[in-house]
Chain A
Amino acid sequence: MKRRDVVVTGIGCIGPWGIGMQELSNALQRAEPLSSPIDRRSHYHRRAGAELLAACGPLELSPWLDAQQARRMSLLSQYAVATARMALQDAGLRTVRSDRTAIALATAFGPGAFTEQLTRQILEKGGKAASPFLFTDCVANAPAGQVAIDLGARGPNVTICQREAGPLLALAHGANEVAAGRADVCLAGAVDEMSELSHAILDRFRALARGRGEVPRPFDRRRRGFLAGEGATILVLEPETDARARGAHLLCRVGPTVRAFDPSAGRASFGTGHELLAATLRERIAGTLCEVDTIVSSASGAVHGDALEARVLRAACPTRTNVLVPKAVHGEYGGGTLATALLALRGAPFGYPPACSEPDEALGIAPTSGFVHARRVLCSALAAGGVAAWSVLEAP
């Protein structure tokens, strides 16, 4: 079967900015980090540790998820189901053909709060105290399973756990399902929640920006770590021919994805293999790279991660492009970079993050601000541990 061109016809997103693309756009225009103090009542954190989190807070999900449904699932599954419905609504799809609908979601930590709660039950009260309800919804693929149940989606259903690279890998996996003809609709994206324990562990690895008032500073010389975030972003992928035939509004075309690994990375750190990563990127999509006009960067304020990102982008994309750093606003995790890419293709305005006012000259790269009228966006994702992915999204 000939491979099919794949387009995005709908998007749903929730995060620390609230619900939907307009709220995200407003936040990116303000360019201030969406951080608030994390709940530390469990005393998992060290005294001098990170105190901020880009939390979703209470979200009004009732238009997409009724209270009875919500009670039967973890918060993470609630995010996934509500966001999937939002995405389908945006795509103008009221129903999906069950056996032709696939799901490809990424999650870095899975349902962390449920897992933490279940493990505490067991450690504190013994194995017999374990809740079966918590257990069945604490597997990493529970959100994707709940989306499938909610929509009746019986096609391939995968969950990818690849830290910060997960959202792009899920996008690529979902696009491949559609391109290969194994599905006619795929809901692809990411869903993450940041539990108190996960936050405390990330902080112990010195991954997070520290200290009250400390903010993420992508590509800034003062950067000290990232802001942990949460949320969900889900795209509706369809074959272009099907989407055009039903008169769908095309948000973008899904271009190639390049996947690579930097073996010089440590288990929880970034490596120094920028030459290798850039060479792989150039070798795979040299022609497309020349036409990229906007980069949605994975820079998050991580000291070594941003340095690697800058070196790779400078080596692979020598032509002048817009560089967006949405993680300065919504933090790491939750797939907000995918939504940011679509905003860039819509011509949205982006503010300059005040926290990035002193670009690191050694990196030779700085964020862009203003209206971005992108035609071809390169989304970049470098994960701690060595995995890298880049996806191209093009104006239809």
Chain B
Amino acid sequence: MNPPAVVVTGLGAVSSLGVGVDRHWQQALGGHAGIHPLGLFSTATHRTAIAAEVPDDAVLVPGRNLSRAERFACTAAAEAVRGIPNEVLRSPRAGVFFGSSTGALYEAEQFLRALLQHREGHLAPLAAQQNDGPGTAVARMLAVQGPVVCFSTACTSANVALSAALDALRSGEIDVAVAGGADELCETTYAGFNSLRAVDSRPTRPFRQSRAGLSLGEGAGVLLLETLAHAQKRGATMLCELAAAGLSCDAHHVSAPDPDGAAAAIGNALQAAGLSPDAVTFVNAHGTGTTHNDDAESKAMHAVFGARSSSIPVTSSKSLVGHLLGAAGGIEAVFTVLSIVHRLVPPTAGDEPADPALGLDVVIGEGRALPAQNVGLSTNLAFGGNNAVVLFRSLRP
């Protein structure tokens, strides 16, 4: 018996572009980047001074005792589940699969700073200092009763979570999953990436010749996933299918990406979906804007797609919302689903043409129209040599 198809029935997004999927899509189509001078903490002792920070006026789920990442996660999840009755979620047949790479590290920094000054900091947000904090907060808010699993595989965390949710739905363990990721800006990751000279002092320019690094961001991206039968039974609006995922590890270097590993993850996703590389109609790339990542990723695409690499539309959402680390896969999955729904690939922000040496068809300037039936890949590469790819496709007529 074939495993059940899994469909996307809800989306939620929080980032420097604000709160809400519609807002994100409108901003993305206009190529508006939410990368600005950083206000969350002083950048006086750091090498750079910009980031994609969630704006102060963003309306988030309240909670003085919640970390920023928990509030991002809960806000995005609340949007994603808007269309589903509460009782469907309050069941052992509903689960949460989430990714985060920093947990509540910003709040932990505040706490440690206070300790170093012989003061007591605000303890309550540190209940989420472990990286399961945002995902478990979502589970508690929605009162699910099924599996709750949180992954921390650096920048692939959310894609790994989507992959695990897909498995749980296909195995029959659950009917509904809330899956995605959330992360928050903090000094440790900001200084850490800067120590690697991986942060651009200007807004990131993925796949451009002048690219000089990433822009760090924060926020959350969340998907509501259901088995096709469950979605049909409750009359849900189905956006597209989550058809497969592919994971791999470079086993090469802790922080330098290896094209073979990324190519293997793409190949694994295609194999799991039973598709050939020719089926892919667009790629929402990891596209961090670092020299090494964009080189490795383009080589991986050439290895998988061959000559077609130069004609498959490729975009980088990180040019708009920055690099959300453990949440990157979540927000990029949101953009990938929206591309399928609207049959349009949003542009990679900025006017500069793509680096010809990469040999990719990077969407720049205006959105690119897609055919009626689409297969979209969302790729993430991470520290630890981790690679995770999720494959979405249009609902079959």
Contacts and interface: CB of A to CB of B under 8 A. Distances in A.
B251 A386 contact: no
Chain B: interface secondary structure? mixed
Contacts of B84: none
Interface in B252-305: 252-255, 261, 264, 268
Nearest to A119: B188
Interface in B5-47: 43-47
Contact of B146 (A138, A182, A260): A260
Given A108-B130, A265-B140, A386-B140, A148 B251 contact: yes
A239 B118 CA distance: 54
A130 B130 contact: no
B190 A141 contact: no
A250 interface: no
B379 interface: no
B46 A135 contact: no
Given A99-B264, A141-B154, A161-B150, A180 B116 contact: no
A231 interface: no
A140 interface: yes
Given A141-B152, A385-B132, A261 B96 contact: yes
Given A158-B151, A161-B130, A263-B143, A140 B101 contact: yes
B126 A201 contact: yes
Contacts of B191: 118, 122, 127-130, 135
A153 interface: yes
Interface string B214-252: 000000000000000000000000000000000111111
B149 interface: yes
A335 interface: no
Contact of B152 (A44, A125, A159, A385): A159
Indicate the member of A110, A125, A139, A149 with the most B CB atoms within 10 Å.
A139
Indicate the member of B171, B188, B251, B383 with the most A CB atoms within 10 Å.
B251
Nearest to A99: B264
B195 interface: yes
A263 B96 CA distance: 12
Contacts of B385: 145, 148-149, 157
Categorize the interface residue count of chain B.
35 or more
B130 A156 contact: no
B356 interface: no
Interface in B144-198: 144-154, 160, 164, 167, 171, 173, 187-188, 190-196
A119 B107 CA distance: 12
Contacts of B251: 98, 148-149, 151-154
A113 B388 CA distance: 28
Contacts of A98: 251
A100 to B, nearest CB: 11
A283 interface: yes
B127 to A, nearest CB: 4
B359 interface: no
B49 to A, nearest CB: 10
Indicate the member of A125, A158, A176, A266 with the most B CB atoms within 10 Å.
A158
A127 B45 contact: yes
A136 B151 contact: no
A136 B255 contact: yes
Contacts of A260: 92, 145-147
A204 interface: yes
Contacts of A200: 115
A135 B192 contact: yes
Indicate the member of A109, A110, A259 with the most B CB atoms within 10 Å.
A259
B164 A173 contact: yes
A163 B148 CA distance: 12
Given A120-B116, A145-B254, A130 B195 contact: yes
B77 interface: no
B147 A180 contact: no
A192 to B, nearest CB: 11
Given A152-B251, A261-B96, A283-B92, A132 B152 contact: no
B386 A267 contact: no
A155 B387 CA distance: 10
A145 B383 contact: yes
A137 B384 CA distance: 8
Interface string B50-79: 000000000000000100000000000000
Contact of B150 (A136, A162, A259, A265): A162
B123 interface: yes
Nearest to A126: B45
Contacts of A131: 195
Contact of B187 (A108, A123, A140, A265): A123
Interface in B106-146: 108-109, 111-113, 115-116, 118, 123-124, 126-133, 136-137, 139-140, 143-146
A160 B148 contact: no
B151 A161 contact: yes
A118 B248 contact: no
A157 B247 contact: yes
Nearest to A107: B152
Given A145-B383, A160-B150, A124 B252 contact: no
Contacts of B109: 119, 122-123
A107 B116 CA distance: 26
B37 to A, nearest CB: 15
Contact of B383 (A43, A116, A142, A163): A142
B187 A128 contact: no
B140 A204 contact: no
B384 A127 contact: no
Contacts of A128: 45-47, 191, 194-195
B167 A176 contact: yes
B130 A163 contact: yes
Nearest to A384: B127
A153 B249 contact: yes
A261 B131 contact: no
Contacts of A109: 129-130
B24 to A, nearest CB: 27
A268 interface: yes
A205 B130 CA distance: 13
5 contacts: A43-B118, A135-B196, A160-B149, A261-B145, A279-B92
Given A107-B152, A140-B153, 18 more contacts: A119-B109, A119-B188, A126-B44, A126-B46, A127-B47, A127-B190, A127-B191, A130-B194, A132-B195, A149-B251, A158-B153, A158-B160, A159-B152, A163-B130, A173-B149, A176-B167, A265-B140, A276-B92
Interface of B: 43-47, 65, 90, 92, 95-96, 100-101, 103, 105, 108-109, 111-113, 115-116, 118, 123-124, 126-133, 136-137, 139-140, 143-154, 160, 164, 167, 171, 173, 187-188, 190-196, 247-255, 261, 264, 268, 382-386
- The 10 lowest CB-CB distance pairs between A and B, nearest first, are A145-B384, A126-B45, A135-B192, A259-B147, A127-B46, A127-B191, A156-B247, A157-B249, A140-B152, A130-B191
